[in-house]
Amino acid sequence: MKICTRVSAAFLAAALMVGASHAVAAEPIQPIVVPDDLDLAQVELGKKLFFEPRLSKSGFISCNSCHNLSTGGVDNLVTSIGHGWQQGPINSPTVLNSSYNIAQFWDGRAKDLKEQAGGPIANPGEMAFDHSLAVNVLQSIPGYVDEFEQVFGTAVVNIDRITQAIAEFERSLVTPNSRFDQWLTGDANAISGAEKEGYELFKTLGCASCHYGPAVGGEAFMKMGLITPFVTDNPAQGRVDVSGQEADRYSFKVPTLRNVEQTYPYFHDGSVFDLNEAVDLMAEIQLGQDLSDSEVEKISAFLRTLTGELPAMTLPQLPPSNENTPKPEPFGP
């Protein structure tokens, strides 16, 4: 009950923020807007670092390995592959539109993108490196030192600047101009009748009480299995690990539904690959609704209209290491 109240308040706030004069004011979903305050130099440096395998112990894993920008900002695996082919504990959430998230990681343990960016680098099961070692690597590379100086004013390379640049790049990873956003902003023909019906169901059934805002999610935590328990082998306990509150057990950040047709498999345990199956299950365990096949199809059709356009990006060219650069250690202890 308490959770529902909190969500409703947030929903109301989001709706009001859009402004009464705008046509979309009454909708729970707002269009994705490209930020106009990006530091483009930081974005370019951050792009290099996002694709930089030398931020891992092995020299093989980069941010892009698990948040692949060719595949919706995810790896499309149940759980990710880390250093030494370790099996990750949880499904990799998309980096696209992640700036809209209330906090980062499924349990929200990082307050923002910058704090998140440092996590996988030092996680022994992911990139398995160390912040000071990562700094040592970049500091040995003149191409990076020069760029840090251009971007930040001095030639200092540190983890604060590394994560700042990655976070700024990630702020640029928004996906505007989906067919749904075209419809939202006035093109009545941008989505079909069935897709529109799916959207109406999405609202009337209650999906939108959690999946709202520009990212269609990401703005609240919610118990997974609100009405009926979610059956999973995954041991993740969710938000309780951060808050220490028993009420937060099995509570996870509501994932964005933007580009959801690309971000399978679904849920924090990555257990469901089929979008229809995911919709059907969510209606059952979160809303206590038994949907018909036709309703499921319509909602999925609506959800596929949320696929937007990632800004075209050229593949970064990374500056080479040299004889002073610490060598990668893919194998061995």
Under rule CB under 8 A, residue 205 binds its own copies: no
Instruction: Find the angle CA(285)-CA(192)-CA(277) to the nearest 5 degrees.
Output: 25
- Stretch in the footprint of its own copies (CB under 8 A) among 22-30, 134-142, 165-173, 267-275: 267-275
**Coil vs helix vs strand at 6:** helix
Cβ atoms 228, 288 nearer than 8 A: yes
Specify the amino acid at residue 113.
L
Q: Which of 28, 31, 46, 59 binds its own copies (CB under 8 A)?
A: 59
Under rule CB under 8 A, residue 84 binds its own copies: yes
Distance in angstroms (rounded) separating the CA atoms of residues 199 and 23: 16
Contacts with its own copies: how many residues (CB under 8 A)? Answer: 43
Q: Which of 51, 152, 202, 302 binds its own copies (CB under 8 A)?
A: 51
Instruction: Find the angle CA(77)-CA(83)-CA(86) to the nearest 5 degrees.
Output: 55
Instruction: Determine whether 246 is an active site residue.
Output: no
Q: Which of 58, 158, 177, 234 binds its own copies (CB under 8 A)?
A: 58
User: Within 128-147, which residues bind its own copies (CB under 8 A)?
Assistant: none
Distance in angstroms (rounded) separating the CA atoms of residues 136 and 326: 7
Under rule CB under 8 A, residue 73 binds its own copies: no
Under rule CB under 8 A, residue 287 binds its own copies: no
Q: Which of 46, 72, 108, 120 binds its own copies (CB under 8 A)?
A: 72
Among 161, 121, 158, residue whose Cα is nearest residue 139: 158
Q: Pick the catalytic residue from 52, 126, 170, 197.
A: 126
Under rule CB under 8 A, residue 60 binds its own copies: yes
Burial label, 111 (beta-carbon count in 10 A; 0-12, 13-18, 19+): exposed
- Stretch in the footprint of its own copies (CB under 8 A) among 7-15, 186-194, 238-246, 322-330: 322-330
Under rule CB under 8 A, residue 68 binds its own copies: yes
Cβ atoms 258, 72 nearer than 8 A: no
Under rule CB under 8 A, residue 313 binds its own copies: yes
**Residue 40 CB, nearest approach to its own copies (Å):** 17
Q: How many CB atoms lie within 10 A of CB 332?
A: 4
**Residue 269 CB, nearest approach to its own copies (Å):** 14
Under rule CB under 8 A, residue 317 binds its own copies: yes
Distance in angstroms (rounded) separating the CA atoms of residues 275 and 264: 8
Across 13-28, b (16+ Cβ under 10 Å) vs e yields: ebbeebeeeeebeebb
Binding site for its own copies (CB under 8 A): 51, 53-54, 58-60, 65, 68-72, 75-77, 81, 84-85, 87, 261-262, 264, 273-277, 310, 312-318, 320-323, 327-328, 330-331
Mind telling me the catalytic residues? 126
